[in-house]
C-alpha cells in the first residue's frame, strides 16, 4: 500500500494536501470571513459524504457568524467530523481528541464538538468520559447546530443525534472547504437501506432518502457559474436514487438525474459514487454512453470474489451476477475504467475463498481498489451472527496479497494507456513539482504533465501519455 492509500484507508488527509492550497482555495476561506466573526476549525474523517457534510456544516455556521480557520489555535469552536467504518477510524478520532484537550487548555473558552458517524454510537461515552466534549451532533441534526452551540456557550453539554427520514439539506448551499476551485462534491442522497452484514453505515446514518433533483441541478449550475468544472454526485448507493414529486407523483431515478446534471453544461464533467452491483442498471450505462461529459468511470465495490462470502455479507449478489455487470460495462462503455472496494478476512473466509477474491481482481481488471482488513463493528449483523474468526495475522497476510496483486493489475492497466491521448481537466500543481500540472482523465486516473503558458486550473487539455506507474500517468500536452 502506498502512503497515500494508507491515508485514505485511515480517512486522513495529508498535512501537505491540506496546506497545498491554490490561490483559489485560500480565497475560499478568506471570502467567508467578516470582521468580528468567530472562527471554527473542522477536521473531517471517513468517506466523501463526511467531507461534503462538513461543507454543509460550514454553511450553517456562517449564518451565525462563524468563519472557517485552518489554524486550530485561533478557533473558538473545534469540530471533528467522525467516521465509524472501521475500528482504526475511531481510534484516530480518540487520538485527535487528546490533541484538542491540550489546545483547549490554552483557550479555555473554546468549544469542542463531535459530529458525524461516531456521534450516535458513542454519545454516552463522549458525555461521560470525554469531559472536554461540549457538543455531540449526529449527521441529520446539523440544522440544530445554532441552538446547540448557544446552549454550549452557556455551559451546558448539548446532544442531538436524532436521525431523520426526510433531512437532505436540499436548500443549503455548501461552503466549499479545502477546495481546488475546480472539482466539488454534491450530495444527492443520505443514509442507506442495504444491510450489508459488516457495515455500520445504516446505523450511523439512518434510512435512505433522496434529495430533490432540482436542488441538485441548481447546485451544479451555481458551481459551473463559479468556475467549477467537475461535480461528483455522492450517495452510499447512487443507483437506488429515487425522488418522487410530491405534487405530481412523477418519479426521477438515477439515470434520469444523471442526465439532468449532464445537461447543465457540456464543459461540466459529472462523476458519481458509489454504485452497488445489485442495482446498477443498463439504463445508467446507456446514459453514460450518450454524454461525453459523464466520466467513463465506475466505482463498483465487489467486496469479495466468492459467492458464499458475498451471501454472508448480505450483498444480495453473487459472483456470476457481478461478472455479468462487468460484462455489461465492457459492452456498453468499452473505454470505462472500473474500481472496487475489497474486504480481506471476513468471518469464516477460507484460503480458497480468499483465492476467489484474488482471481476476481485479475478477471475484472480493476483500475484501482480500496482494500481493507475486516474490522468487526458492534451492533452489525455480522457482529451478532458470525464469529470474527480469521486470525489477525491471516487477515493481514491476505490483505497484503490483495494489495500486491491490485498494484500489479493497476500498473498493467496504466501501462496499457501509454501512447494514448486523453482529455484532462487541470486541477492544480502536481504534488511533486510546481512546474507540472495534475488532473484526471475521464477514467479517473491522475495525469501529471509539464505546464504550458496561459493554462490554469479548470482548463481542459489533451495529454499524450508516455509513462505510467501503478498510481499515475505521465504525459505531455499535445
Ligand atoms: N456504500 C458503499 C461503501 C461504503 S463504506 C458500498 O456499498 O460499496 C466503504 C467501504 O468500506 C466498503 O465498501 C467496504 O469495503 C469497507 N468496509 C465497510 N465496513 C467495513 C468493515 N466492517 N471492515 C472492513 N471494511 C469495511
Ligand atoms: Fe454499507 Fe452496504 Fe450500505 Fe454500502 S451499501 S453503506 S456497504 S450497508
Ligand atoms: Fe465513515 Fe460514516 Fe462515511 S461511518 S465511511 S463517515 S458514512
Q: To which residue does cell 447546485 refer?
A: 219
CA–centroid distance, 199 to ligand 1, in Å, is 6
CA–centroid distance, 372 to ligand 2, in Å, is 15
What are the beta bridge partners of residue 429?
A: 437
Alpha carbon of residue 271 to chain centroid: 12
Those residues with Cβ within 8 angstroms of residue 164's Cβ, 6 or more apart along the chain or in another chain: 140, 141, 206
**Atom in ligand 2 nearest the alpha carbon of residue 195:** 8
Q: What is the 3-state secondary structure (H, E, C) of 4-51?
A: HHHHHHCCCCCHHHHHCCCHHHHHHHHCCCCCCCEEEEEEECCCHHHH
Contact, 379 vs 321, CB < 8 A?
Answer: no
Same fold, 3-160 and 183-413: no
The DSSP string of 297-350 is EEE---B-S-HHHHHHTT-S--HHHHHHHHHHHHHH-TT-EEEEEEEES-TT--
Instruction: Give the three-class secondary structure for 437.
Output: strand
Q: To which residue does cell 459467492 refer?
A: 307
Ligand 1 pocket by C-beta < 6 Å: which residues?
A: 85-86, 198-199, 201, 236-237, 274, 276, 301, 303, 341, 343, 372, 374-375, 377
**Atom in ligand 1 nearest the alpha carbon of residue 200:** 19
Those residues with Cβ within 8 angstroms of residue 128's Cβ, 6 or more apart along the chain or in another chain: none
| Angular region, 252: left φ>0, alpha ψ -120 to 50, beta rest | beta
CATH 3.40.50.12160 fits 3-160, yes or no: yes
pLDDT for res 32: 54
85, 202, 299: which to mutate for ligand 1, most atoms within 8 A of CB?
85
CA–centroid distance, 367 to ligand 2, in Å, is 22
89, 195, 197, 237: which to mutate for ligand 2, most atoms within 8 A of CB?
237
Paired sense of beta strands 135-137 and 158-160, if any:
parallel
Contact, 356 vs 344, CB < 8 A?
Answer: no
pTM for this prediction:
0.92
pLDDT for res 325: 98
343, 376, 380: which to mutate for ligand 1, most atoms within 8 A of CB?
343
| End-to-end Cα spacing for the chain | 33
Reference 69, options 60, 81, 58; nearest CA is: 58
**Tens digit of each residue's pLDDT, the chain (478 residues):** 444 444 334 333 332 233 232 233 333 444 556 667 899 999 999 999 999 999 999 999 999 999 999 999 999 999 999 999 999 988 899 899 999 988 988 988 899 999 999 998 888 888 777 788 999 999 999 999 999 999 999 999 999 999 999 999 999 999 999 899 999 999 999 999 999 999 999 999 999 999 999 999 999 999 999 999 999 999 999 999 999 999 999 999 999 999 999 999 999 999 999 999 999 999 999 999 999 999 999 999 999 999 999 999 999 999 999 999 999 999 999 999 999 999 999 999 999 999 999 999 999 999 999 999 999 999 999 999 999 999 999 999 999 999 999 999 999 999 999 999 999 999 999 999 999 999 999 999 999 999 999 999 999 999 999 999 999 999 999 9
* Residue boundaries of the structural domains of the chain: 3-160, 183-413, 421-477
CA–centroid distance, 236 to ligand 1, in Å, is 10
Query: What CATH number is given for 183-413 in this structure?
Result: 3.80.30.20
Instruction: Give the three-class secondary structure for 201.
Output: helix
For residue 226, the 8-state DSSP code is T
**Atom in ligand 2 nearest the alpha carbon of residue 199:** 1
Residue 298: φ, ψ to 5°: -130, 125
Q: Whose CA is nearest to atom 15 of ligand 1?
A: 341
Cα distance between residue 74 and residue 372, in whole Å: 37
> SS3 helix, strand, coil % of the chain, rounded to 5?
40, 20, 40
The C-alpha angle 154, 127, 97, rounded to 5 degrees, equals: 95
CA–centroid distance, 128 to ligand 3, in Å, is 24
CA–centroid distance, 194 to ligand 2, in Å, is 6
CA–centroid distance, 341 to ligand 1, in Å, is 7
- Say which ligand is closest to the CA of 122: 3
Contact 194 CB / ligand 2 (< 6 Å): yes
CA–centroid distance, 315 to ligand 2, in Å, is 8
CA–centroid distance, 347 to ligand 1, in Å, is 15
pLDDT digits (tens, 9 = 90+) for 140-158: 999 999 999 999 999 999 9
The structural architecture, per CATH, of the domain 421-477 is: Beta Barrel (2.40)
- Say which ligand is closest to the CA of 195: 2
Ligand 3 pocket by C-beta < 6 Å: which residues?
A: 46-47, 49-50, 83-85, 116-117, 200-201, 204-205
Instruction: Give the three-class secondary structure for 354.
Output: helix
Amino acid at each position: 500500500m502506498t502512503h497515500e492509500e494508507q491515508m485514505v484507508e485511515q480517512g486522513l488527509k495529508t498535512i501537505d494536501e491540506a496546506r497545498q492550497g491554490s490561490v483559489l482555495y485560500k480565497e475560499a476561506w478568506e471570502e467567508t470571513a467578516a470582521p468580528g466573526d468567530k472562527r471554527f476549525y473542522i477536521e473531517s474523517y471517513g468517506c466523501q459524504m463526511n467531507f461534503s457534510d462538513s461543507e454543509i456544516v460550514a454553511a450553517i455556521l456562517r449564518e451565525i457568524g462563524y468563519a472557517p480557520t485552518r489554524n486550530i489555535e485561533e478557533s473558538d469552536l473545534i469540530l471533528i467530523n467522525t467516521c465509524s467504518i472501521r475500528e482504526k477510524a475511531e481510534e484516530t478520532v480518540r487520538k485527535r481528541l487528546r490533541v484538542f484537550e491540550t489546545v483547549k487548555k490554552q483557550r479555555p473558552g473554546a468549544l469542542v464538538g463531535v459530529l458525524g458517524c461516531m456521534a450516535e454510537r458513542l454519545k454516552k461515552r463522549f458525555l461521560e468520559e470525554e469531559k472536554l466534549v461540549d457538543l455531540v451532533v449526529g449527521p441529520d441534526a446539523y440544522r440544530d447546530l445554532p441552538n446547540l452551540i448557544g446552549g454550549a456557550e452557556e455551559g451546558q453539554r448539548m446532544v442531538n443525534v436524532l436521525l431523520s427520514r426526510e433531512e437532505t439539506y436540499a436548500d443549503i448551499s455548501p461552503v466549499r472547504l479545502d477546495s481546488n476551485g475546480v472539482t466539488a462534491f454534491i450530495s444527492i442522497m443520505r443514509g442507506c437501506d442495504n444491510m450489508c452484514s459488516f457495515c455500520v453505515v445504516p446505523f450511523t446514518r439512518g434510512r435512505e432518502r433522496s434529495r430533490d433533483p432540482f436542488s441538485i441541478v441548481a447546485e451544479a449550475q451555481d458551481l459551473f457559474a463559479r468556475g467549477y468544472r467537475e461535480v461528483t454526485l455522492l450517495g452510499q448507493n447512487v443507483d437506488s436514487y429515487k425522488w418522487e414529486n410530491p405534487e405530481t407523483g412523477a418519479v426521477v431515478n438515477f439515470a434520469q438525474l444523471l442526465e439532468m446534471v449532464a445537461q447543465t453544461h457540456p464543459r461540466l464533467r459529472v462523476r458519481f459514487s458509489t454504485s452497488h452491483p445489485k442495482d446498477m442498471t443498463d439504463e445508467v450505462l446507456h446514459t453514460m454512453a450518450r454524454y461525453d461529459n459523464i466520466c467513463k468511470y465506475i466505482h463498483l465495490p465487489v467486496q469479495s470474489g466468492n459467492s458464499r462470502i458475498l451471501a454472508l455479507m448480505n450483498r444480495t449478489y453473487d459472483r456470476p451476477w457481478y461478472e455479468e455487470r462487468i460484462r455489461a460495462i465492457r459492452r456498453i462503455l468499452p473505454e470505462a475504467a472500473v474500481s472496487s472496494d475489497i474486504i480481506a478476512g471476513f468471518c469464516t473466509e477460507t484460503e480458497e475463498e480468499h483465492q476467489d477474491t484474488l482471481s476476481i481482481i485479475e478477471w475484472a481488471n480493476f483500475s484501482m481498489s480500496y482494500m481493507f482488513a475486516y474490522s468487526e463493528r458492534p451492533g452489525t449483523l455480522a457482529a451478532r451472527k458470525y464469529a470474527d474468526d480469521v486470525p489477525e495475522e491471516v487477515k493481514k497476510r491476505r490483505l497484503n496479497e490483495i494489495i500486491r496483486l491490485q498494484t500489479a493489475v493497476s500498473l498493467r492497466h496504466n501501462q496499457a494507456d501509454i501512447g494514448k491521448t486523453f482529455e484532462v481537466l487541470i486541477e492544480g500543481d502536481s504534488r511533486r513539482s510546481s512546474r507540472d500540472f495534475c488532473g484526471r482523465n475521464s477514467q479517473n486516473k491522475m495525469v501529471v504533465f509539464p505546464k504550458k503558458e496561459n493554462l490554469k486550473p479548470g482548463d481542459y487539455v489533451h495529454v499524450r501519455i508516455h509513462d505510467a506507474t501503478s498510481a499515475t500517468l505521465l504525459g505531455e500536452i499535445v
